[in-house]
């Protein structure tokens, strides 16, 4: 079932490696079929070097395995929370990419100081709050999803397609899984650039008008970037 | 038309990828035919992996497409401003290369502290000023060109073949598009070196005589570097 | 003798190069056969590019060469101390990988601030104390082993499979040599991430509950990561 | 003439690229034939991608071209000063490698804080003083050699096979050109490691006894590293 989506999910996971975002098994990408309300996700702890699309796992939105001989990614519950909260997204990616994870470890938002970020993320990339002992102990991966959604109370997940989870690492998403992978590579590059900038000038700023100009020239009805 | 120049422009865009200066579609290179007063530039938002010289777009100095089935780069108006202001240049390159963009985000000039920079750039690499809301809203890419030219009021674009645009990224140029690409790679390497240096010793300096010696041994009538 | 183990040891040494952990001859990996009480280790100062499994050296726990036409790694005595102290380990790796060595040079533990570290190392990665003149002069490599073991007085080498030796570099270990190599690559990546984080926020912290959650979801009887 | 040495010099220059030490034409390696008192060096400003051993230039110690249709490297006079001052060296390498050049730009010695450095360099890697206007204007490349030699007044070039020239970049040397290339790669890696360390702990130190131990286990009559 969902053969085409499984191939996309498998390819997306391999693309994370190709973009240099994943060491060993430290990442997972998933996609949702909104009609069937089923999610296809990478199996847990399986090596990328021999990953096949037939090994992708199909789960429903309650987290039950519908098809697949492997256990799904241990982060599946986090992915599912995002799909349930945000009907507009079609794919989710989680990695431990170096610079985005470094920001996650600091507990800071990645401040918007350049048009590279504004081309994709409409403002600072948010960092979630500390999780409580209770949240960690109870249903950790599901609660991780909940703290992400809580952090987006006043944010639009379409205009802000990613987050860094405190002390953990980045999650990104998009209308499709390909877009989620793309946003993951973009966030890593931005995280690197802005780390470097922050070391040269800790007080740098950017005009919010410039953010709006760049975001809007690529997104929305007045976009004029691309073909 | 301009088949030879289209091939050069296509190759130059691919060389940006080869030098590690471009992620996804984040760059554009152009060249001018001064006799015909026509500029050849990369199409907007097109993937580098399948770029063909026939897809390059020909525009006149007013920005009108003369030939080509794609829209030209969204930064075309910036390129055109530079060609109009500086008759001595033949090629322009814009990227979001990591370290040069990081400097652009800080709003600081890249200070000259080494002979590597002096071999190509006769002094600090300038950073432009903040753009006004009006400049951003009106004709943003054209105004970007204007703030670059304004920043060069007391600078010679031949002796200073590049700039970082505040909160945006580097532009470089040269007598030819090949030279513009070369200068783009040089600026990225310098931006990296000087970032590192700045973290070790925030008060470093260089004798202006050494800048002059190195610049002049490679450029001008008394040059003695190379064959 | 020990042909199979020699192949594993040779492959492990080559894997250090593949993971980018070794420049020139700056690393060594070994494995122990607990039944025969023999250790197989890389020869000293031999180039990786032409390394063959037949060149691996077999030594006993007293450090005497049992088989092999080459001298064993100059760090052999350090490896042997670890095997003698910790019966649970099967392989040891030493490198001068860039970021882990940078931490070793600072004399600081690598603080735990992320789940990437918690997935493998159950707390801060310890740094050893300064060695005395007497320890350096007498039997330097053996004493290096002793200061590592001293540092682990209140640490469990299974839960903390690595150390940075002050002013020197990282040692890692595991139940097998493959696991020791894996931990070496993990430590280098963590050392890089946490270096970056430390430059952005020097006061970052992580809830110890999160460390426990991540470590325990991958290790021990309640682990649920992987297949 | 000197066909064998020309091949070695050509190969050494190509090895600088292979080790990632050279961008474009920013490096040069030379070797001396002590019997004939002739030096073979890379031509000036020639691309590495098509370099042939027949293009290497032969000069005498007065800097006169003895054979070769190209001009020798613009830094030839610096190389010659070192060969004349130090009869024990057989090869010299100059690059603008990223991290070593970054240190050169700071004007600081690279402090010895690890055994990686002690394995090759018996102490801090020195940085030269500022050159005077007169030295820069007169015979710049020759004077660069002189300030290096001046800096080594109390240093042994065998035990300290490299220097960073202030605001310029690294020079290394060795008994052979292969050793000079090796030392150039080592210095770059050390420069990177110690840069990172310096950002984590600006007050780090290393026991001089440890320097001695590591240097002496690889060099001199009591060396026991390697075969």
Q: Which ipTM did the prediction report?
A: 0.97
Domains and CATH numbers, chain C: 3-218 (3.40.225.10)
Q: How confident is the model at residue A50 (pLDDT cuts 50, 70, 90)?
A: confident
Q: Which of A81, A220, A92 is nearest to A159 (CA)?
A: A220
Under DSSP, the state recorded for C199 is H
Neighbours of C223 (CB within 10 A): 12
Residue B65: strand pairing partners:
B59
Residue A44 pLDDT > 90: yes
What is the Cα–Cα distance from D36 to D2, expressed in whole angstroms? 10
Interchain proximity B131–A207, CB inside 8 Å: yes
Interface mutation vs chain C, best among D210, D211, D216, most C CBs within 10 Å: D210
- Mutation target to probe the C interface, by most C beta carbons within 10 A, among A27, A44, A51, A102 is A102
CA pseudo-torsion sign B56, B58, B62, B63: negative
Query: Which residues of B fall below an 8 Å CB-CB distance to A?
Result: 23-24, 26, 43-46, 70-71, 74, 96, 98-99, 101-108, 130-131, 133, 136-137, 140, 167-169, 195, 198-199
**Cα distance between residue A25 and residue D135, in whole Å:** 57
Nearest Cα residue to B95 out of B6, B167, B23: B23
Residue B10 half-sphere exposure toward CB, CA atoms < 13 A: 17
Structure tokens belonging to residue A165: 């989870």
Q: What is the arithmetic mean of pLDDT over A107-124? A: 98
Pair D111, C106: CB distance under 8 Å: no
Cβ–Cβ under 8 Å, residues A77 and A153:
no
Contact D207, C134 (CB under 8 A): no
Active-site residue flag, C48 = no
Catalytic residues of B: 119, 225
Nearest beta carbon to residue D101 from set B114, B206, B213: B114
- Who among C45, C167, C168 is closest to D225 (CB)? C45
**pLDDT on residue B198:** 98
Q: Which chains touch C (3 or more CB pairs under 8 A)?
A: A, D
In tens digits, what is the pLDDT along chain B, a chain of 227 residues? 899 999 999 999 999 999 999 999 999 999 999 999 999 999 998 899 889 999 999 999 999 999 999 999 999 999 999 999 999 999 999 999 999 999 999 999 999 999 999 999 999 999 999 999 999 998 999 999 999 999 999 999 999 999 999 999 999 999 999 999 999 999 999 999 999 999 999 999 999 999 999 999 999 999 998 88
Query: Residue C167 and residue D207: Cβ atoms within 8 Å?
Result: yes
Q: Model confidence over D156-189: pLDDT tens digits? A: 999 999 999 999 999 999 999 999 999 999 999 9
Q: Containing H/E element for D89? A: none
Closest residue in D to C166 (Cα–Cα): D114
Radius of gyration of chain B (CA): 17
Q: Least CA distance to B101: which residue of chain A?
A: A193
Dist CA C186 CA A23 (whole Å): 8
Distance from chain centroid for Cα D78: 11
Q: Which of A79, A100, A84, A67 is nearest to A167 (CA)?
A: A100
């Amino acid at each position: 079932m969902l053969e085409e989506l499984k191939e996309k999910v498998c390819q997306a996971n391999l693309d994370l490696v190709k973009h240099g975002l994943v060491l060993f098994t430290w990442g997972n990408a998933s996609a949702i079929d909104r009609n069937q309300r089923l999610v296809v996700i990478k199996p847990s702890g399986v090596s990328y070097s021999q990953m096949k699309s037939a090994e992708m796992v199909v789960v429903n939105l309650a987290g039950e395995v519908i098809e697949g001989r492997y256990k799904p990614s241990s982060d599946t519950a986090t992915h599912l929370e995002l799909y349930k909260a945000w009907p507009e997204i079609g794919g989710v990616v989680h990695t431990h990419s170096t610079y985005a994870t470094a920001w996650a470890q600091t507990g800071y938002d990645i401040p918007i100081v350049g048009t590279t970020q504004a081309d994709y993320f409409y403002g600072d990339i948010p960092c979630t709050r500390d999780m409580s002992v209770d949240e960690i102990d109870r249903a950790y991966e599901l609660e991780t999803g909940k703290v992400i959604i809580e952090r987006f109370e006043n944010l639009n997940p379409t205009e802000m397609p990613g987050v860094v989870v405190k002390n953990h690492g980045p999650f990104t998403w998009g209308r499709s899984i390909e877009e989620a992978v793309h946003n993951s590579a973009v966030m890593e590059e931005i995280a690197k650039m802005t780390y470097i900038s922050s070391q040269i000038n800790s007080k740098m700023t950017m005009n919010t008008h410039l953010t709006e100009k760049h975001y809007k020239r690529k997104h929305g009805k007045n976009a004029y970037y691309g073909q």
